A and B are shown apart, each in its own frame.
Chain A
Amino acid sequence: MSRHIDEGALTDYLDGSLPAAQRREVDDHLESCQVCRAELEAASEAKLAVESLPVEAVLPRDLWVGIRERMEDEPVEGVLAIERARTTDPRRVSLSLPQLAAASVLLMLATGSAVLLGVRATASPGVPALRSFARSEALADFQFTSLQPVILDSEAAAADLSEVLEEGRDLLDPETLEVVEESLRTIESAIREVREALAADPASEVLHQRLTDHMRQRLNVLRRATAVIYSAG
Chain B
Amino acid sequence: MGASLFSVGSLTRSGAIDLEALVRKVQDGDSGAFEEVYRSLAGRIYALCLRMVGNSDEAEELTQDVFVRAWQRIDSFRGDSKFSTWLHRLAVNLVLQHRRSRARLAARETLVEDPARYEQAVRRSLPGTKIDIERAIAGLPSKAKRVLILRDIEGYKYKEIADLTGVTIGTVKAQVHRARKLVREAMER
Cβ-defined contact, B173 with A8, below 8 A? yes
CB B98 to nearest CB in A, in angstroms, measures 16
Cβ-defined contact, B68 with A67, below 8 A? yes
Interface residues of A in 39-63 (CB under 8 A from B): 39, 42-43, 45-47, 49-61, 63
The answer, yes or no, to whether A201 is at the interface (CB within 8 Å) is no
CB B12 to nearest CB in A, in angstroms, measures 15
Could you tell me the distance between the alpha carbons of A162 and B127 in the complex, rounded to whole angstroms? 55
The answer, yes or no, to whether B86 is at the interface (CB within 8 Å) is no
Selecting from A27-35, A135-143, A166-174, the interface stretch reads A135-143
Cβ-defined contact, B152 with A50, below 8 A? yes
Cβ-defined contact, A68 with B35, below 8 A? yes
Cβ-defined contact, A137 with B184, below 8 A? no
The answer, yes or no, to whether A104 is at the interface (CB within 8 Å) is yes
In the complex, which residues of chain A have a beta carbon less than 8 angstroms from the beta carbon of B126? Answer: 53-54, 57-58
Q: Which residue of B24, B68, B130, B173 is within 8 Å of A49 (Cβ)? A: B130
Cβ-defined contact, B43 with A46, below 8 A? no
CB A157 to nearest CB in B, in angstroms, measures 14
In the complex, which residues of chain B have a beta carbon less than 8 angstroms from the beta carbon of A55? Answer: 44, 47, 153-154
In the complex, which residues of chain B have a beta carbon less than 8 angstroms from the beta carbon of A76? Answer: 71-72, 74-75
Count residues of A near B (Cβ-Cβ below 8 Å). 54
Selecting from A94-102, A118-126, A147-155, A191-199, the interface stretch reads A94-102
Q: Which chain A residue shows the least CB distance to B9?
A: A141
Could you tell me the distance between the alpha carbons of A49 and B187 in the complex, rounded to whole angstroms? 10
Cβ-defined contact, B130 with A52, below 8 A? yes
Cβ-defined contact, B185 with A42, below 8 A? yes
Could you tell me the distance between the alpha carbons of A137 and B30 in the complex, rounded to whole angstroms? 8
Which A residues are closer than 8 A to B by beta carbons?
6-8, 10-12, 39, 42-43, 45-47, 49-61, 63-64, 66-68, 70-71, 74-79, 97-98, 100-102, 104-105, 137-138, 140-142, 216, 220, 223-224
Which B residues are closer than 8 A to A by beta carbons?
5-6, 9, 24-25, 27-31, 34-35, 38-39, 42-44, 46-47, 50, 56, 60, 63-64, 67-68, 71-76, 121, 124-130, 133-134, 137, 148, 152-154, 170, 173-174, 176-181, 183-185, 187
Give 30 A-B contacts (CB < 8 Å), ordered by A residue.
Answer: A7-B174, A8-B170, A8-B174, A39-B177, A42-B181, A45-B187, A46-B187, A49-B133, A49-B183, A50-B133, A52-B130, A53-B153, A54-B126, A54-B128, A55-B47, A57-B46, A58-B126, A58-B127, A60-B60, A61-B60, A63-B38, A64-B35, A66-B64, A67-B67, A67-B71, A71-B68, A71-B71, A97-B74, A101-B30, A142-B9
